[in-house]
Amino acid sequence: MKLYLVRHGETDWNRQKKVQGHVDIPLNSFGREMAQKTAMGLLEVSFDVAYTSPLIRARETAEIILKDRNVPLLEEEAIKEISFGLYEGVNYEEIGQDVKYGEFIHFFQNPDKYVPAEGGESIEHLKHRVGEFLERLYIDESLQDKNILISSHGAAVTAMKNVIKGWTDTADFWKVGRPKNCSVTIVEVVGGKAKILEEDKVYH
């Protein structure tokens, strides 16, 4: 089994440095261009099935990559982006200057100290749900020889990589940095054991 973990293309909120989370923001024109170039980079990969977060920016990215291919595209709640609750819609470069949102600064700088806002989700919970999703794939006998596209989000893809690498300490969550928009991480799974072959490859 090979997994192709893709972060969605750029949105206007990415460009404006706004916290997105569960807010359903579509790709912008550059994001669609990124996805098209990623599609060209993955043209030789024969995908058997694809999973996407239900959020439009991830789904649209997957649809552009798959284009006219006859590949089932399945929505999967478990790979949705982390919920930021009250922090969503706020500029994350300015957020630390406001007492109301000050805790958000820990999300990227000290993830082990991050406390979710009202309506938000912890990093630990995110890792748990994406981990359960990956485990379902690993044990599915029908998927063992398949190429699988997984279209998701920055924190959710990072959580999947943490799980695959066996990193359990939340302090290490961003150890290799944030994945760029439309970056691709290729994972090989043999006998239920996963290893990363290529990490955060960019085709645009």
Other CB atoms closer than 10 Å to residue 93's CB: what's the count? 10
Marked catalytic residue, from 76, 81, 103, 121:
81
Task: Judge whether 153 counts as a catalytic residue.
Answer: no
Alpha helices in the chain (DSSP H): 12-15, 29-41, 56-66, 105-109, 123-139, 154-165
Give the closest residue to 168 by CA, choosing from 159, 177, 179, 155.
159
Marked catalytic residue, from 8, 22, 153, 204:
8
Quick check: 31 and 11 in contact, CB under 8 A?
A: yes
Task: Judge whether 75 counts as a catalytic residue.
Answer: no
Tokens of 35: 């996805």
Q: Which residues are known catalytic residues?
A: 8, 81
